[in-house]
Each structure stands twice: as structure tokens, then as C-alpha cells.
Structure 1
Amino acid sequence: MARTRAQDFEEKQRVILDSAAEVFAEQGMEKASMAQVAARAQVSKPLLYHYYPSKDALIFAIITTHLEELDTVIEDVDDDPHLAPDQRLRRLVGAVLESYRGADNEHKVQLNATAALSDEQKTQITALERRIVRRFAAVLEQINPDLNSTERPLLMPVTMSLFGMMNWVYMWFKDGGRISREDYADVATTLILEGIKSVR
């Protein structure tokens, strides 16, 4: 007979993922141990292994959960097909930066953990990342179709430049500082919007 799922399964799973992200971000993927994760999450090692049978399975779950939640947030805010492309871009950038609030640990794991994963796991993560990137690229192409020129294909370089501004914000940004998350979202969007007007 199949084992029934505990009522607090998702809650425990979230605690484990959050705790593991903290440990991996602090210790690095190689030095961090499952014992440290169990201690941080205040669960037994057998329970931890019940949820995640290996370290790479745990790392994979952290990254995919982070990306799936980000993808859902982006899809939810990009719900008005009649909105002007520049306004859509502002919404999308704002949604990403808001989604990154409190997710620095998960973000560090995403950026630094690929060596610990299998090729199959990397492929699944890449598919999620590309889905998110394509949504931004589509909006940028609407704003400046010339970016997708066959002679000088700049759509992906410009798109990834925008992600560079968003993805590395955790290195310097402090909530409660002199610039708000919303302000920076506006700055990053304006830099891209004004910049691509001059791209030929």
C-alpha cells in the first residue's frame, strides 16, 4: 500500500529548501553537508533523505523551485497583451527584482551549483531559464525589431545584458538603502530602453 503524504509535507519541504539554500550559500556546494542541512532545518538526517535522497537532488530542487516560482510571477504580471511593450518591460523587470527579494541564497545556488548537477538536471534547468529569457527577448524585439537582424543579431546580447543587471543585483543591493528595489527596476529598464534606441 502506498505511503500517504503527511499533511505538512509542503511546509517541511519549504523549510528544508530554505535551510539548504542558506547552508549552500554560506559553505559552498562542495563543503556543505547533508548533516549541516538537517541541523539547520531542525530535521533528522533520515527525514532529510526521505525528501531528498542526495545532495545533488537537493540542489536541483532549490534551483528548479526558484526558477518555477520566478516563471509563474513573470507570467502573472505579463497578462495584458494590449500594454505597450516598454510598459510590459518595466512590469517584467519589476517582477523579477521583487521576486529576488529574500531569495539571495537561492540565487547564489543557481549561479554556482551547476558543477554539482548531472547533465540531465542541467538540461532541465536550462529549459526553465530559456523560457524566462524568451519572454524578455520577445518584448525587446517588439521595442526594437532591428535587434533581431540576421546581419547583426543583437537581441540575445541585449537580453542577457538586462539579465546581467538583474541577476547580479544581490552582490550590492541592500533593502532599506538609499535606492529602493522599485527605483532600481526603473533605472535598469530605462538604461535598456534608452540604450537600444541607439543600437544599429
Structure 2
Amino acid sequence: MPRPIAQDHDDKRAAILRAAARLFADEGYGRASMSKVARVCGISKANIYHYYPSKEALLFDMLDTHLRYLRDRIGNLSFPSSDPNAKVLHMITEVLLAYQGANAEHEVLLNATKALPPEQQKILRQHQSDLIGYGQAILTAITPPSVVADRDKMRAFTMSVFGMLNWHYKWCRDADAQTRQAHAQVIAQLVIGGAPSLS
């Protein structure tokens, strides 16, 4: 008879993902064993396998959960203003706030994705592509039409913006919400001020 799912299964799973992300970020995915994951989670090795049949399955769920959260948060934004500049600021702010507390997941995403099989990497890349697509749609409204029509140039602009956002955790790892909002203002000013010159 299958073991019933505990009522706190999702909470325990989330705790495992957070602890494993810190371990994988600190020690490297290749060096971190499931025994170590169980130890940092404060549970038995047998219990960790109740949640994940393999380290690979754990890694995929960690990155899939992280990217789906980012994708859905940005894709479902409600904007307080119809002004294109305000929308850009709001999007940039929300991305930085979404990254708060996720430094480890971000580090693992950058360094361990290639350990997954191609079909799982494809799923993760699609989440990232969707996220970039949402951002690009918002940036289009402040971008000269000639740049919007140039697919490569528009992509370069969009990826440059996300580059600033994605590497924020490297130079300000422990930024709180207020600091992130202040940094979003700076980045938004650079993006909004620079966009007209792209033509």
C-alpha cells in the first residue's frame, strides 16, 4: 500500500529545496551528496528519498520551482500606471524583489543546469525564455521602432537589462527590499534614459 502524503508534505518539500540550494551553492552540485542534503535538512537519508528519488530529481525540482515562480510573478504583473516608463520601473523592481532570498537558487541555476538531461534543460530554458519575453514586451514600449523591428538588437537590449538584474546578487547579496527598490530606480533610469539612443 502506498505511503500516504503527509499534510505538511509541501512545506517539508520547500524546506528541502531551500536547504539543498544552499548546499549546492556552497559546495557545488557535484560534491554534494544526498546524505549531505539529508543532514543539512535534519532528516534521515531514507526520508529524503521519500521526497526525491535522486539528486538529479531534486535539482530539477529546485530550478523548475524557482524559474516558474519568477516567470509567473513577472508574467502576471498588474501595473499601477499605463505609463510605459512606470511599467519598466515596476517590472525591474519586481524582478529584484523576486530574487530576494534566492541567491543560492540563482547560483545553482548558473552552475548546475548542465548536470540535468537535455529534455529537462529544455524545460528550464523555456521558463527563462518566457520570462525574458514578458520583459521584452514591456521594454518595447520605450524602445525606438527601428530597434523593435531589429530582432537581434531588441534581444541584445533586453538581455542587457536582465544581465544587470541577474547579476545584482553578486554585488549586493544581502540587499533588503528597500535597497532593492532603490537599486531598481537606478537601473530603470539607465534603461529608460538609454533606450532612445539605441536608434
> TM-score surpassing 0.5?
yes
Give the whole-Å Cα distance in 2 for the aligned partners of 1:74 and 1:130.
Answer: 12
Q: 1:12 is matched with which residue? A: 12
Q: Give unpaired runs (5+ residues) of structure 1.
A: none
Q: Which moved more, 1:49-58 or 1:139-148?
A: 139-148
8 Å contact 1:140–1:155 — kept in the other structure? Answer: no
* CA shift digits 1:153-196 (9 cap, x unpaired): 3111011101110111111104469x811111111111111111
State the AA in 2 paired with 1:119. Answer: P
Preserved contact between residue 75 and residue 131 of structure 2 (Cα < 8 Å): no
Distance 1:160-1:100 versus aligned 2 partners, 3 A rule: same
Count of aligned residue pairs for this structure pair: 197
User: In structure 2, how many angstroms separate the alpha carbons of the residues matched to 1:113 and 1:176?
Assistant: 24
Give the TM-score of the pair, scaled to structure 1: 0.91
Say whether the 8 Å CA contact 1:175–1:181 is kept in structure 2: no
What is the match of residue 192 of structure 2?
Answer: 193
Matched, 1:170 2:142: no
Identity between Structure 1 and Structure 2 (%): 38
- Which residues of 2 match residues 1-200 of structure 1 at below 5 A? 2-76=2-76, 78-80=77-79, 83-144=82-143, 145-150=145-150, 153-175=152-174, 180-200=179-199
Secondary structure of the residue that 1:20 maps to in structure 2?
helix
Unpaired segments of 5 or more residues in structure 2? none
TM-score normalised by structure 2 residue count: 0.92
Q: CA RMSD in A?
A: 1.9
